Structure 1
Amino acid sequence: MKQKAKATTIIALSHICRTWRDAAVGCKWIWGCILTVDTSTSTWVDILLERAGSAPLYIYSNPTMSRTIRPRHHVFISDIWSALFDRVAQWKVLDLTVHVPMGAYLEIAYPRDTTDEILLSPFRLTPLTPLIRALTKAAPTLESFELNFPDAYYLSYARQGKFIPDTLFSGVTPRLKRFSFRDIVFSTLASFRTSKLLTHLDINWKWAKTVSITITEWLDILEGQTQLAFLQISGSFMKRDKKVNLTQRQIKLPSLRILRLEHCMDAEASVTLFSKLHVPHTCSVKLYLGLGVTGAPFIASLPVKQLQVGFERFITSWRLFEADEKLRVEWIIMRRRGFFDLSIINPQTKGLECEDDPMFTFTYMTFNEPHFKSTDVVNMVLKSVPEFIFEKTDEIRMDMTNSDVVGEELATFDRLFAKFEHLPER
Structure 2
Amino acid sequence: MSDVYSGSKKRTLSNILLLPEEIFDEILLRLPSKSVGRCSAVCKTWNSLVNTFVRNHTRYQSNSDHDAQLLFLQFHDSSSIINRSHYALHRDNSTCNVYTKLPNPFAACNKLPTCLRGAEKVEDLTLVGTCNGLICLVARDNEIHFAASIWNPCIRKLVALPKPGLAVYKDIDQVRYGFGYDSCTNDYKVLRCVNHKYIRQSTCQVEIWSLARGSWKSLSSAADHVILPTNSHPILPANFHPGQLFNRSGVVFVNGSLHWLQLARNWKVNKMDYLVASFDMASELFGEITVPEALRKKLHSEPRRREWFISRYRESIALVNICNDRERWFGCRVEIWVMAEYGVAASWANLCTMQLPDFWLMPLGFRKSGEVVLMRYINGDQSMLLDPESKQVSYFEIDGSNNRLKFMDYFVESLVLLDQPNAISY
Q: TM-score range by the shorter chain?
A: under 0.3
Q: Which entry has the higher C-alpha Rg, 1 or 2?
A: 1
| TM-score under structure 2 length normalisation | 0.27
Higher helix share: 1
Structure with the bigger percentage of strand: 2
Looking at both structures, which has the greater relative contact order when contacts are Cα pairs under 8 Å and sequence separation is at least 6?
A: 2
